């Protein structure tokens, strides 16, 4: 525990806490213990509580009468039951409170604000309504706990007229107690709480009572297992307090309850009709929502521990790599498996699916559009396809996080739907260019709206009649090619796309795997609308883009010998192998075979003496995602490496030319970034230091690999997005001998 000393000048001279139950008592006790108030005065009607409050050190003194307690108060906290608020506010309105700040801890805000308005004849500017989201099944001043609010949310709901200094002061008091304070509108607060707290309590109380009533001897509870206990834990809460809350937050509770009743009726009908599809849909969606929720909680705890959002990898220098690993499934193929599986007729089984945030964003998008998808569980996903015309409007905007592939490919597909959809992304994706898909889609007749400068969010209006397009891509981009081919599934005529250089052809291959004819002739791919997709089985090979980090790691570390199993070696993806071989890398392909239309092999890589090369431009699109780590290889090589024709690197998850150049410079390596590439003189020593990934997963992993040849530790900032493509990177890196871990967790 950190020792806290009383500040020289206390924040508050006199704090008055009215109501010394669990919440009021904990607030008083916590602030008193932290020495932020000269005096803490309690008010309680119950004599026993008043005595205990002083004995237990909750307050300095305690009064029965509000008027006596409030004399000279700076801050008055109302922590009385919600239905008593109006009466207490009414008494306060009769007193001369001077400049005292008034705040409360009621669980519903609308009724407290209305009461203040009524009794004061307008809500006072120095009233700051608030609600700490904390509590327990315990109650009373004996349960007061000064640490109760630590890492809990406190919502303040200031009004337009609320005094800024008063708000700041209340905010500060809660922060002193370790709370995480947020501000929200009154109505929003009440609606959110009705859904996340009040409705569950109503259901728990209701269910236990309903069962208990029908089984008076309570015999059935003997058979109740953990599920019942967990679900009904909150039925042990204080009945009087909850009775008050439902009366206080009536409107918001009714709104959420009515929506829930409709959903419950639909579930009832599904059970009645034997509609397993509906049940599976609800249960799979609920399960992921629940997992998402647990992750948020876990992340919050973690972030709290670190006091920041910055996930730092600490990569210690030296080592070599050895062993045998399988990196996760291919990201591009995983995205496409969900998209085509959803639009197919029948049930598609996927194995080896990448459970990274990007592919999961695509999966969630289709769940949002009504597709029932089971899993992923150990890379297995079962997709209950709805056919090309079976998607439903999502309940709100589709959030695709960091994933450019999701946004660009989906835009093509969505252009063919009868409903409107808006897609949004995280800060990095929100800076990436979308006109490359929006413009040709508009030429096909789609209505596509973008944010300023063609950046996300993207809104695609439904119901447009698409006509086929013959289009020559201005840049080598598989995402744009795929977007247009997917739109072509819905466009009248033959859609033809010509690419300036070969790019990954997973969309074409997978469409054929689903029985859809796609013509490919050199740089030209075309398809005709009007066909259908038939469900199939997909085995996703390991991602060569993830394997690339280990190909370079083993190449640059003397004495390394590593086997990477089952890696996809589609000819449109093997640029990294070809470039490393040109540099003198020792990579052999073993056990070559084909799975589900994609070639795979085990890659054996050993340490080698690399030399610098001029990277052939035709290899650039075939290694586009691998350049960050290839730059590391170039630094470790003898002689100069020159990359040209790679301006696309500037519009990836970060500007990969600049961000890598900056990072290398921080490590004492001189490089020369150019408009479309970089010049790296190899053989320079890599020092230690701080580098920033700018939220780009591949930059974070590239610098982790660089540590093998560094002379001192490298701290890599902003690494959380490694989870987008390679969630178990650190575990595999450690397993083979790269000394990288989350800082503080070594
Ligand atoms: C991808 C294509 C590439 C690549 C991205 C995945 C795909 O993007 O960088 O990681 O799955 O089609 P571009 O099409 O922008 O080159």
pLDDT (tens digit, 9 = 90+) per residue, 22-42?
999 999 999 999 999 999 999
- Count of beta carbons in the 10 Å neighbourhood of residue 582: 15
What residue owns the CA closest to ligand 1's atom 9? Answer: 625
Protein residue closest via CA to atom 10 of ligand 1: 625
Confidence of residue 291 (pLDDT cuts 50, 70, 90): confident
Q: How many angstroms does the Cα of residue 506 sit away from the middle of ligand 1?
A: 11
Domain range list for the chain: 12-184, 191-274, 275-299, 331-539, 544-742
Question: Is 80 exceeded by the pLDDT of residue 746?
Answer: no
Q: Which of 411, 429, 475, 504 to mutate to test the pocket of ligand 1 (most atoms within 8 A of CB)?
A: 504
pLDDT at 294 over 80: no
5 has a pLDDT exceeding 60? no
Q: Say if residues 699 and 656 touch (Cβ distance below 8 Å).
A: yes
Q: Which is nearest to 105 in space by CA: 248, 281, 258?
A: 248
Q: What is the pLDDT of residue 693?
A: 97
Mean pLDDT of 205-221: 81
Which residues does residue 97 pair with via DSSP β-bridges, in sequence order?
none
Ligand 1 atom 4: the closest Cα is on which residue? 625
739 appears as a binding residue in the annotation: no
Q: Is 332 labeled as ligand-binding?
A: yes
Give the end-to-end CA distance of the chain in Å, rounded to a whole number: 22
Contact 702, 283 (CB under 8 A): no
DSSP state of 522: T
Which of 361, 408, 440, 478 for mutating ligand 1's site (highest number of atoms within 8 Å of CB)? 478
301 has pLDDT over 70 = no
**Hey, CA dihedral for 539, 545, 546, 549, is it positive or negative?**
positive
Residue closest to 367 by CA, chosen among 192, 359, 434, 196? 359
Whether 495 contacts 445, CB under 8 Å: no
What whole-number distance in Å separates Cα of residue 393 and Cα of residue 385? 16
Q: What is the mean pLDDT of the chain?
A: 94
Nearest CA to 146 out of 250, 258, 38, 25 is that of 25
Q: How confident is the model at residue 8 (pLDDT cuts 50, 70, 90)?
A: low
Is residue 406 within 6 Å of ligand 1 at its C-beta? no
Q: How far is the CA of 405 from the centre of ligand 1 (A)?
A: 6
Query: What phi-psi label fits residue 63: left (phi over 0), alpha (psi between -120 and 50 degrees) or beta?
Result: beta
The CA distance from 640 to 434, in Å, is: 35
Measured CA to CA in angstroms, residue 146 lies from 56, 59, 173, 177, 340 at distances of 12, 12, 12, 7, 55
Beta strand 421-424 with 458-461 is antiparallel
Q: Above 90 in pLDDT, residue 215?
A: no
Looking at CATH, the fold of the domain delimited by 191-274 is given as 6-phosphogluconate dehydrogenase C-terminal fold (1.10.3660)
Task: pLDDT band for 473, please (50, 70, 90 cuts).
Answer: very high
Average pLDDT over residues 379-399: 96
12-184 shares its CATH topology with 331-539: no
The dihedrals phi and psi of 531, each to the nearest 5 degrees, come to -90, -170
227-247 per-residue burial string, b: 16 or more CB within 10 A, e: under 16: eeeeebebbebbeebbebbbe
Q: Ligand 1 center to residue 409 CA distance, Å?
A: 10
pLDDT level of residue 739 (50, 70, 90 thresholds): very high
pLDDT at residue 475 in the model: 97
151-176 pLDDT, tens digit each: 999 999 999 999 999 999 999 999 99
Predicted confidence (pLDDT) at residue 7 exceeds the cutoff of 60: no
pLDDT higher than 50, residue 303: no
Ligand 1, atom nearest to 504 Cα: 12
Please tell me the distance from the alpha carbon of residue 544 to that of residue 564, in angstroms, as a whole number: 9
**What pLDDT, on the 0 to 100 scale, is given for residue 4?**
45
d(CA 2, CA 568): 52
| C-alpha Rg value of the chain to the nearest Å | 31
pLDDT at 298: 58
- 707 CA distance to ligand 1 centroid (A)? 27
> Percentage of the chain surpassing pLDDT 90?
89
Chain-centre distance for alpha carbon 519: 38
Question: Which one is predicted more confidently, 211 or 486?
Answer: 486
Q: At which residue do the structure tokens 């990934």 appear?
A: 693
**Residue 625 beta carbon below 6 angstroms from any ligand 1 atom:** yes
Helix (H, G, I), strand (E, B) or coil at 12: strand
CATH class of the structural domain 331-539: alpha beta
Superfamily of domain 12-184: NAD(P)-binding Rossmann-like Domain (3.40.50.720)
Q: Is 652 annotated as a binding residue?
A: yes
pLDDT at 302 over 70: no
670 is in an annotated binding site: no
- CA 397, 403, 405, 406 dihedral sign is negative
% of the chain at pLDDT higher than 70: 96
CATH topology of domain 544-742: UDP-n-acetylglucosamine1-carboxyvinyl-transferase; Chain (3.65.10)
pLDDT at 237: 85
pLDDT bin (cut points 50, 70, 90) of residue 563 is very high
Band (300; pLDDT cuts 50, 70, 90): very low
State the closest ligand 1 atom to the C-alpha of 545, by its place in the atom list counted from 1.
10
pLDDT of residue 226: 78
Residue 688: which of 663, 671, 670 has the closest Cα?
Answer: 663
Ligand 1 binding pocket includes 357 (Cβ within 6 Å): no
Residue 304 has pLDDT above 80, yes or no: no
Tokens at 543, concatenated: 């991602």
Answer whether 570 contacts ligand 1 (Cβ < 6 A).
Answer: no
Can you tell me the mean pLDDT for 677-686? 97
Residues 6+ apart with CB under 8 A from 298: none
pLDDT above 70: residue 146: yes
What's the rounded Cα separation, in Å, for the pair 334 and 336?
5
Placement of tokens 């509770």 in the chain: 253
Q: What average pLDDT does range 95-103 have in this prediction?
A: 96
Query: Quick one: which atom of ligand 1 is closest to the CA of 625?
Result: 9
Q: Is the CB of 336 inside a 6 Å radius of any atom of ligand 1?
A: no
Q: Measured in whole angstroms, how far is the alpha carbon of residue 317 from the centre of its chain?
A: 31
CA of 332 to the centre of ligand 1 (A): 8
Active site (catalytic) residues: 625
3-class secondary-structure state, position 45: coil
What's the confidence (pLDDT) of residue 290? 85
Distance (Å) from CA 476 to ligand 1 centroid: 9
How do residues 422-441 score in pLDDT, each as one tens digit?
A: 999 999 999 999 999 999 99
The model's confidence at residue 544, banded by pLDDT at 50, 70 and 90, is very high
- pTM, rounded to two decimals: 0.81
What is the model's pLDDT at position 701?
98
Nearest to 180 by CA among 150, 138, 143, 210: 150
Give SS3 for 590. strand
User: Which of 624, 629, 630, 696 gets mutated to test ligand 1 (max ligand atoms within 8 A of its CB)?
Assistant: 624
Phi-psi domain of 319 (left: phi exceeds 0; alpha: psi -120 through 50; beta: other): left
Cis geometry, peptide bond prior to residue 457 (ω within 30 degrees of 0) = yes
């Amino acid at each position: 525990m950190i020792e806290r000393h009383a500040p020289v000048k206390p924040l508050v001279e006199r704090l008055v806490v009215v109501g010394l139950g669990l919440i009021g008592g904990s607030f008083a006790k916590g602030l008193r213990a932290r020495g932020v108030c000269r005096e803490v005065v309690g008010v309680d009607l119950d004599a026993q509580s008043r005595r205990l409050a002083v004995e237990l050190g909750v307050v300095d003194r305690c009064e029965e009468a509000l008027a006596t307690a409030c004399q000279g108060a700076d801050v008055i906290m109302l922590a009385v039951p919600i239905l008593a608020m109006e009466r207490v506010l009414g008494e306060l309105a009769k007193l001369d409170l001077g400049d005292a700040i008034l705040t409360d801890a009621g669980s519903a805000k609308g009724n407290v604000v209305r009461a203040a308005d009524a009794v004061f004849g307008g809500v006072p500017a120095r009233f700051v309504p608030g609600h700490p989201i904390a509590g327990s099944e315990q109650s009373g001043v004996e349960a007061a706990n000064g640490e109760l609010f630590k890492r809990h949310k406190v919502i303040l709901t200031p009004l337009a007229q609320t005094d800024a200094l008063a708000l700041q002061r209340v905010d500060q008091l809660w922060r002193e107690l370790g709370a995480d304070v947020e501000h929200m509108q009154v109505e929003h607060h009440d609606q959110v709480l009705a859904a996340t707290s009040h409705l569950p309590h109503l259901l728990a109380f209701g269910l236990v009572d309903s069962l208990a009533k029908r089984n008076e001897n309570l015999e059935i509870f003997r058979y109740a297992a953990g599920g019942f206990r967990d679900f009904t834990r909150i039925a042990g809460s204080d009945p009087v307090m909850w009775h008050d809350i439902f009366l206080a937050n009536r409107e918001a509770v009714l709104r959420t309850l009515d929506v829930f009743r409709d959903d419950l009726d639909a579930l009832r009908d599904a059970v009645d009709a034997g509609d397993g599809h509906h049940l599976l849909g609800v249960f799979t969606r609920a399960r992921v929502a629940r997992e998402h929720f647990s992750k948020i909680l876990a992340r919050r705890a973690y972030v709290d521990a670190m006091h920041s959002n910055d996930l730092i990898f600490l990569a210690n220098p030296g080592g070599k790599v050895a062993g045998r690993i399988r990196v996760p499934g291919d990201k591009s193929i995983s995205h496409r498996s969900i998209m085509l599986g959803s639009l197919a007729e029948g049930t598609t089984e996927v194995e080896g699916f990448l459970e990274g945030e990007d592919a999961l964003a695509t999966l969630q998008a289709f769940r949002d559009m009504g597709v029932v998808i089971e899993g992923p569980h150990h890379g297995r996903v079962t997709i209950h396809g709805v056919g090309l015309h079976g998607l439903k409007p999502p309940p709100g905007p589709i959030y695709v996080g960091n994933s450019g592939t999701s946004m660009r490919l989906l835009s093509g597909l969505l252009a063919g739907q009868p409903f409107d959809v808006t897609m949004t992304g995280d800060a990095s994706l929100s800076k990436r260019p979308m006109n490359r898909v929006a413009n040709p889609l508009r030429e096909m007749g789609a209505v596509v709206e973008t944010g300023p400068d063609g950046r996300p969010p993207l809104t695609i209006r439904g119901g447009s009649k698409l006509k086929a397009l013959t289009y020559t891509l201005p840049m080598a981009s598989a995402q744009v090619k795929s977007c247009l081919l997917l739109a072509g599934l819905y466009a009248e005529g033959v859609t033809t796309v010509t690419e300036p250089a070969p790019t990954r052809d997973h969309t074409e291959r997978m469409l054929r795997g689903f029985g859809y004819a796609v013509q490919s002739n050199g740089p030209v791919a075309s398809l005709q609308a009007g066909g259908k997709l038939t469900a199939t089985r997909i085995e996703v090979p390991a991602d060569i883009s993830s394997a690339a980090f280990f190909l370079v790691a083993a190449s640059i570390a003397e004495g390394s010998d590593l086997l990477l199993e089952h890696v996809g070696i589609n000819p449109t993806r093997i640029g990294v192998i070809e470039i490393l071989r040109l540099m003198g890398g020792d990579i052999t392909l073993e056990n070559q075979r084909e799975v589900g239309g994609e070639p795979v092999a085990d890659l054996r890589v050993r340490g080698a003496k690399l030399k610098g090369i001029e990277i052939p431009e035709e290899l650039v699109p075939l290694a586009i995602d691998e350049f960050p780590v290839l730059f590391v290889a170039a630094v470790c090589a003898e002689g100069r490496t020159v990359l040209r024709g790679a301006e696309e690197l500037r519009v990836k998850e970060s500007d990969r030319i600049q961000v890598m150049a900056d990072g290398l410079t921080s490590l004492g390596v001189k490089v020369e970034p150019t408009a479309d590439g970089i010049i790296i003189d190899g053989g320079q020593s890599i020092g230690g230091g701080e580098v920033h990934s700018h939220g780009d997963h591949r930059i974070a992993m590239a610098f982790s690999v660089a540590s093998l040849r560094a002379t001192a530790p490298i701290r890599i900032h902003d690494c959380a997005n490694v989870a987008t493509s390679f969630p178990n990177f650190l575990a595999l890196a450690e397993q083979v001998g790269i000394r990288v871990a989350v800082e503080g967790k070594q």
